[in-house]
Structures are given as C-alpha cells and as structure tokens.
Structure 1
Amino acid sequence: MFAFAGNSILCRLALKETAIDAGTFTAIRILSGALVLWLISQWRGRKVRSAGSWRSAVALFIYATAFSFAYVELTAGTGALLLFGAVQATMIGYGLWKGERLSKRQICGFILAFGGLVGLVLPGVSAPPILSSSLMLGSGVAWGIYSLRGRGASDPIRVTAGNFLHAAPFAVALGIAMVPSASLAAIATGGLWAIASGTLASGVVYTLWYIALKNLKATSAATVQLSVPVIAAIGGIIFLGEDLTVRLFIASFAILGGIALAIREARTK
C-alpha cells in the first residue's frame, strides 16, 4: 500500500518539480516496468510472450494514462482518494454483481461514501478540477478491472510481465504523440521519477499485488486499499508541501468510512 501511494507521490513530484509532460511520464513508466519485468522473467526462465492479455493491458494503459493526466492538477491526497474510491466501488460492485446482497448497513455506507465524493468535487474554492477528477475516477475504474482480472493468475510475475509487454505498444504510441511537446532536459529529470514509478512502485509491486490477490476476496482486497489515500495525503504534505484542506479531511472521513462500513458488513456474512 505504501508503494501504491508512492506512485501518486512520484507522479506529482515529476509533474510539479520538472518539465516532463504527463504523456511522456506514462510512456516511460510503462516501458520501464515492462523491461524490468521481462528481465525478471528471463532470469526465472519463464517465457512471457503468451502471458497476460490484451484486455488487461488496455485496462493497465487506461489506468496509467488517466492517472498521470489527472495529477497535472490534483494534489497527491485528493487524487489517491478519488482513485481508490473508484477502485473500491468497482471491486465491491463486482462482488454485488456476483451475488452479494446489500444490507441496510451497506446501503448507509454507500450513501455516506457517495455523499463524501459529491462533497469533494462540488464547485468551490478548494474543489478539485472536474476534468482531472473525472480522469482519476476513470483511472480507478480501470485499475479495479485490472485487479479483478488478475485475481486468478497462476504465475503473477509472468502474467504481470505479459500485461506490461502487451501495454508497451500503446505506451510507445503515446510517447511518439508527445514528442512535439517533450524535451530532453525534461525527460532527463522527470524521467527518473517515471522509471522509479515504473520499475519499483508499478512493475514489481503489481506482481506482489497479484500474488496477494490469489488469497483475497474482492471485498478484502478493497479493504486493505483504504489506507492508500491517507498515506498519499501524508506523503504529499511531507514531500510536496501540500495542504490538508477541511474539505479533503471531511470527504476522506465520509468516503473511507462509508466504504469501510460497507466492506465490514460484507465480510461478516
């Protein structure tokens, strides 16, 4: 969960402190993740050409791209809150679609979480930009789908490497599209953060996440991710000098508390 929050910090650091653009950051992040996972797979003697899937790769690419462009304007804490609120809603929604039923407590939890989300994005002085917020919500849905698709992976390292390699052509195309607005100086500085995000906080950690998902229910997987927005907000304050606004604090309490209430009810059945 610290690594998941680290992606928010690394992306914000790159976009705020350097001149790298969101598209180039995404391309370097995915390509570096694909490279390190391919090297790990080669070291293990596993072929990855037939591993992974195009559907998971598309979900991964959409998540990473929307994530980066959303963080052009969002703070680390706000972005992580929107991201994992959408992730949890997607995973919980899947559980409900598979046959789980809503209790009164769960309904109250979802109403509380939805109210917190609406309160966070309502127009106002401290409200996050609506376009960036929408991008981050879309990123969360894509990550939720990616997580759900990876729950049955028999060889997480091989599957994750395959997904990243399948996503590499999309990353190359995005990188080429961003060439007119990119600069070598920006890539040299912001690219280091992107590499750290792609190799450590993405490639390696996503493999560990796939391993953990094999023994987690959808609702349990959503539960442990409740800590990520808090970690990201604290990291944003420490490393980026971001402020913890009253709106964000109240919205965090409502969204995380509401989802926790719903998940807790689901796990006790």
Structure 2
Amino acid sequence: MTHVSVRRGLLYVSIAATAWGTGGAAGALLHQTGGLGPVAVSFWRFAAGAAVLLLARLLFGLGAPRHAEPLTNVQPARHTRRDPALSGSRHAGPRPVLRRARLAWRGSMLGRVLVTGVAMAVYQTAYFAAIAESGLAVATVVTIGATPVLVAAGGRLLLGERLSPAGLGAVAIALTGLAMLTLGDGSAAFSAAGVGWALLSAAGYAGVTLFNRASADEPYATATGGFVVGGLCLLPVAPAQGLLPSGDPLVSWAVVVYLGTVPTALAYGLFFTGLVAVRATTAAVISLVEPVGAAILGILLLGERLTPAAACGSVLLLGAVALLALKERGQVATPV
C-alpha cells in the first residue's frame, strides 16, 4: 500500500483535477484536427495512458507490487507442534507468507482493475452521450455536480465517512458555484435522456472513486489495468467513428500523447494515490475545479469570456473547495 499524508493527498487530487481540466480542450482539438469521434478519442486516451504508465513501470518501477510491505509487521511464527497450514513445516518462514501476499495482491488487483476499467468506459461513454442529448453545459453540471452527492451518500453507507454541517454546506456552495459557472450563459437545453446519461456517468465516476478509496492496492497499477480494460471495452465501438486520426499526423499524435500523459496517466495516477489519504467526498468536491481549469484555458487560449454569473460561480466553487480542504487537513481524525 502507498503511504500518503493528508496534505500530500490533497495536493495530488488538486493537481489531478487541474490536469483533467485540460483533457476536454485536448479532446476537442483531437476531434478538430484528427476527425475522431468521442468514443475514439476516449479509446486513444485510455490506450496512450496505459502505454505511458507501462513505460513508467518498466523504467522506474512505478506501480509494481511491493511484496515486502505485508511482511513488515509479521513476526516469525513459533509453532511447537505440526501446523497443517504449513504443509509439514514446523516454522512458517518467509516463503509461505510471501506466497500468500502475492496471491492476495494478484486476486484483489484483478477484480479491482476489471471493475475500475469497465466503470471508466461506462462513465466516459455516458458522458459523451449526455453531451449529444443535452449539450456540454447540462452534461457537465449534472455529471460533475451529481458525483459528490453520490460519493457522499456512498461514503456514508459503505465507508463510514461522515460530513458535518460545515462539510455539507461546503458541498452545497460548490454545487451552486458549479451551476453558475457552467450554466451562466443561459444557453442550457435540458432533456430527460441527456440527464439520464449524465447521471449514469456520475454513478460510474462515483463508483470508481469509492471503490479505489477503499483500496490498499498500488494506485498506478490499478490505473494502468483500468486503462487497459477500459480501452478494450471501447475498442469494438471506436472504429465506427474512425479509429485512426486524419489530417496532420504530427499534430494529431502529439495531442494523443499529451491526452494520454497529462489528463490521463498523471491525473488518474495522482487521483488514486490521493484517495489513500483523502476522504472520498472531499476528493470528489475538489474534482469540481476541473471546469474552472477548462474555463481558464478557454480564456487564455481560445479568447472566450466569462459572464459575471460564471465568474461568481468560479469564486464560490474555489472557495468551497478550499474550505473543505482546510477542514480535511485540520480534522484528520474527526468528521469533516
């Protein structure tokens, strides 16, 4: 298990959310320059992310199982009589314990990466379906807004995490800020199908957050396996939208590399690592800064403007995230 302090966990989740904010712009650029549909973009995002983390594992050992850790608190067994569990040995010794640790790690990792990968594929595809039905604004506010609510409910029921009135107030302020930021131009168009797809996407994202919050596995290994499984889930559908990018290959593949490296491999690896130390609800609320980062990129790179309502929403959202992060640091042993 990776040991991370609360302060560092908050930093990791914040960096991940900021990096995710650049993913939308990179995906849109890949669509424009490479002519790829949203499912194909998601496929290449997973494929490139898995390749980057696998390369990092080969070069730096990132995400490799740490077999020695389960043995640090294990005292040598002292048996005065034959123990059937030791297959005829009088002393357990390191080998049987090491073998059990390896088998347990492999078993837990296999199930975890399968669930994580399928959930990733579901919420990515559902999010794009929500965009197609209701537009980007509604899809974003419902998906990202519903996630901390679902995570808070799931964290209370499944993980025993509790929010104080101050924590609940911070979540409410963050959701208000998100709505003002995303729907500030008044151009939203609701549809039942779009909202349904967005809620499915939020449920998938919340499931990934809760599932990996309860994990003791190596986060980068989980992310790598999740990308592989997610990519395999999307592969049968992606060719229908054109699997290979067209246009300038240098530009298209450079965007694929960036998309796989920063908002995918780096962001998810840091997010899963941060979940070791940070409450699931806090991590989900911090992730709400993603549209703020996207809005800043739109202003700096695309010449977009924020409406007064959107600007106020950004301030509210960032303030709520800062408040919840401070409460997390100050009350590590008590409810937020």
TM-score range, shorter chain: 0.7 to 0.9
The counterpart of 2:293, out of the listed 231, 238, 245, is 231
Once residues 37 and 204 of structure 1 are traced to their aligned partners in structure 2, the CA distance between those partners, rounded to angstroms, is 8
Letter paired with 1:63: Y
The 3-state SS of whatever aligns with 1:173 is coil
Letter paired with 2:224: A
Q: Does the 8 Å contact 1:19/1:190 carry over to 2?
A: no
Once residues 288 and 262 of structure 2 are traced to their aligned partners in structure 1, the CA distance between those partners, rounded to angstroms, is 21
Cα deviation 1:56-111 (Å, max 9, x = unaligned): 11111123323455567527xx8665543233223222233244566555565566
The counterpart of 2:53, out of the listed 25, 37, 40, is 37
Unmatched tracts of structure 1, length 5 or more = none
**Does 2:216 match 1:161?**
no
**Does 2:72 match 1:12?**
no
The 3-state SS of whatever aligns with 2:237 is helix
Q: Does the 8 Å contact 1:26/1:68 carry over to 2?
A: no
Q: Give RMSD over aligned pairs.
A: 3.9
Within 5 A, what are the aligned runs for 1:120-269? Answer: 126-130=186-190, 135-151=197-213, 152-179=215-242, 184-185=245-246, 188=249, 189-190=251-252, 192-252=254-314, 269=335
TM-score after normalising by structure 1: 0.75
Q: Does the 8 Å contact 1:8/1:80 carry over to 2?
A: no
**Does 2:119 match 1:59?**
yes
- CA 1:138–1:101 in 2, change beyond 3 Å: closer, same or farther? same
- CA 1:249–1:133 in 2, change beyond 3 Å: closer, same or farther? farther
Q: How many Å apart are 1:129 and its aligned residue?
A: 3.8
Q: Does the 8 Å contact 2:31/2:37 carry over to 1?
A: yes
TM-score after normalising by structure 2: 0.62
Q: How many Å apart are 1:170 and its aligned residue?
A: 0.8
Q: How many Å apart are 1:137 and its aligned residue?
A: 4.9
Q: Does the 8 Å contact 2:282/2:324 carry over to 1?
A: no
Q: Does the 8 Å contact 1:11/1:71 carry over to 2?
A: no
Q: How many Å apart are 1:114 and its aligned residue?
A: 5.8
The 3-state SS of whatever aligns with 2:46 is helix
Stretch of structure 1 that moved more, 29-38 or 126-135: 126-135
The 3-state SS of whatever aligns with 1:31 is helix
Identity %: 25
Aligned length: 264
Specify the structure having the higher radius of gyration (Cα). 2
